[in-house]
Amino acid sequence: MSHTRQGRISIEHLGIRLGSGDQAFEALQDVSFEVEPGEFVCLLGPSGCGKSTLLGALAGHLQTSAGSVAVDGQAIRAPHPERGLVFQHHTLFAWKRVLDNVAFGLKMKGVPRAERLRRARELLATVGLSGFEDRYPSQLSGGMQQRVEIARVLINQPRVLLMDEPFGALDAQTRLMMQELLLDIWARIGTTVLFITHDIDEALFLADRILVMSPRPGRIIEELRLDFPRPRQVGLTTTPRFGELKRHILALLRHGDAPAAVEELPRLSPLGGHPARVRFAY
């Protein structure tokens, strides 16, 4: 596929400060890593460690205060449809039918209506939602809403897919189904995926590589390459190797930075601090 050569993420000495005045704090400090085109990388870390902040910078919604963030050598300055962002809670447009939600990106590109609806229909079939085109988002279950959200991002054929705990709000069974679906889609389109989670099982099940982050200010404290064969099935989660890696990561997270790790930090969003306080230029 044409995407496979595109979608290299390069992050060098990235630092991000959030908040202003006395409230300002260092969300990320000196973070550096690369993601290969077509690679599936999970960023794993405790709540509030700045992993969503990092995603926000990659999406182009947050300003960096140090270092650089680039995709395919191009520094990121603003949001772009080539970098698709999926939030933990869906951001579907309640007033648009499922089909029009998915077709939104193509509408912005000026694709004629018949053509964009045809492609949206195809993508809905890919995520297993044929027959739900004319529903409104509020008429779908949480898992289905998240599938529409993913389809809506994929219609732009993004070079990188940025996912902020996309299945974190789903029940365990739906989450498992969504993980398999995501791997299935990823195997077909081969786009780069940067997936944020605090669920160790999820990271181990999905990723080619896991980057473990410390509590705030977030730094990468460990890199794990996973050689589990693909396609992966649920049975993987009960293998001895899986359990071994899980224990290793648990230990890492527990001993990362002892004093700071104890206190639970509030969740950050890819848009900065608390989502409600963000105000855009337009």
Partner 1 sequence: MTAAIRILRRPRAGGFPVGRWSLRLASVAVCLALWHLLATRHVSLGIVTFANVPPPEEVVRAALGLISSPKLWAHVSSSLTRVFAGFVAAALVGVGLGLLIGRSRRAEDTLLPPLELLRPIPAVAWIPLAILMFPSSELSMIFITFTGALFPILLNTIHGVEGVDPRLIASARSLGGTRRAIFTDVIIPAAAPSIVTGLAIGMGTCWFCLVTAEMISGQFGIGYYTWESYTLQNYADIVVGMLAIGLFGMGSSALIKGAGRLLMPWHQPQRRNS
Please report whether residue 74 would count as binding partner 1 according to CB under 8 A.
no
Q: Please provide the size of the chain in residues.
A: 282
Using the rule CB under 8 A, is 89 a contact of partner 1?
A: yes
Distance in Å, CB of 258 to partner 1, minimum: 34
Question: Measured from the CB atom, is 18 or 85 closer to partner 1?
Answer: 85
Cross-sheet strand order for the sheet of 40-44:
83-86, 160-164, 192-197, 40-44, 209-213, 220-225
Residue 153 interacts with partner 1 (CB under 8 A): yes or no: yes
Candidate list 129, 185, 204, 212; residue touching partner 1; CB under 8 A: 129
38: contact with partner 1 by CB under 8 A = no
Q: Which of 46, 60, 190, 256 binds partner 1 (CB under 8 A)?
A: 60
Whether 203 and 222 have beta carbons less than 8 Å apart is answered as no
**Binding to partner 1, residues 171-200 (CB under 8 A):** 173-174, 177
- Given the rule CB under 8 A, which of 14-22, 100-108, 203-211, 233-241 is the region that contacts partner 1? 100-108
Min. distance of Cβ 227 from partner 1 in angstroms? Answer: 29
Candidates 115, 125, 239, 275: give the one binding partner 1 (CB under 8 A). Answer: 275
- Which residue in the set 2, 23, 138, 238 belongs to the binding site for partner 1 (CB under 8 A)? 138
Closer residue to partner 1 in complex, CB, 45/270:
270
* By the rule CB under 8 A, 216 interacts with partner 1: no
Q: Contact with partner 1 (CB under 8 A): which of 156, 189, 236, 265?
A: 156
The answer to the question of residue 267 lying near partner 1 (CB under 8 A) is no
Name the residue with tokens 């473990």: 212
| Distant-in-sequence, close-in-space partners of 75: CB < 8 Å, separation ≥ 6 | 68, 69
CB of 169 to partner 1, least distance (A): 13
Calculate Rg over the CA atoms of the chain.
Answer: 18
Q: Contact between 21 and partner 1 (CB under 8 A)?
A: no
Listed ranges 183-191, 227-235, 255-263, 266-274: which one lies at the site for partner 1 (CB under 8 A): 266-274
Minimal distance, residue 50 CB to partner 1, in Å: 18
Give the residues lining the site for partner 1 (CB under 8 A).
Answer: 59-61, 78-81, 83-85, 87, 89, 91, 93-96, 104-105, 107-109, 128-129, 131, 136-141, 143-144, 152-153, 156, 173-174, 177, 269-271, 275-276, 278-280, 282
